[in-house]
């Protein structure tokens, strides 16, 4: 089955700095890559996603990049704010398995 690795597991940044979280996947047939944010005690919520026919997607301070050849994708958060502090999960969707495989999560702490 699909295997998704996510790094780093924890990340601390100063407010205003950028944060980058990286994920790799194993199934070359994977074609959809969502990112979820989970605040403490809350449910995971989709913040951005990218499909395999796109190399980059931006939404305000958040961007995701995809390198299909290397089978990795990354989440970029610019001008971080304290409310960005949360656990972020990457995921990979493989049509062959009809389900999403999640990374193990990155705990981001933004220090004011």
Give residues in contact with other proteins (CB under 8 A). Answer: 1, 6, 32, 34, 42-46, 49, 89, 93, 95, 98-105
What is the smallest separation between the CB atom of 10 and other proteins, expressed in angstroms? Answer: 11
What is the smallest separation between the CB atom of 22 and other proteins, expressed in angstroms? Answer: 15
Q: Which of 1, 2, 8 is nearest to 92 (CA)?
A: 2
- What is the four-CA torsion angle of 65, 66, 71, 73, rounded to 10 degrees? 30
3-class SS at 84? helix
**Comparison of 17 and 51: residue with beta carbon closer to other proteins:** 51
**Comparison of 57 and 78: residue with beta carbon closer to other proteins:** 57
Residues 2 and 94 sit within 8 Å (Cβ to Cβ): yes
What is the smallest separation between the CB atom of 63 and other proteins, expressed in angstroms? Answer: 18
**Comparison of 19 and 34: residue with beta carbon closer to other proteins:** 34
**Comparison of 52 and 78: residue with beta carbon closer to other proteins:** 52
Neighbours of 24 (CB within 10 A): 18
What is the smallest separation between the CB atom of 3 and other proteins, expressed in angstroms? Answer: 10
Q: Rounded distance, CA 72 to CA 61, Å?
A: 20
């Amino acid at each position: 089955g699909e295997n998704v690795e996510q790094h780093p597991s924890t990340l601390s940044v100063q407010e205003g700095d950028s944060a980058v979280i990286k994920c790799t996947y194993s199934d070359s047939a994977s074609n959809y890559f969502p990112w979820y944010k989970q605040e403490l005690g809350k449910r995971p919520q989709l913040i951005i996603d990218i499909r395999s026919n796109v190399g980059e997607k931006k939404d305000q301070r958040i961007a995701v990049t995809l390198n299909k050849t290397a089978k990795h994708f990354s989440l970029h958060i610019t001008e971080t704010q304290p409310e960005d502090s949360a656990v972020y999960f990457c995921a990979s969707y493989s049509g062959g398995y009809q389900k999403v495989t999640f990374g193990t999560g990155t705990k981001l702490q933004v220090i004011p």
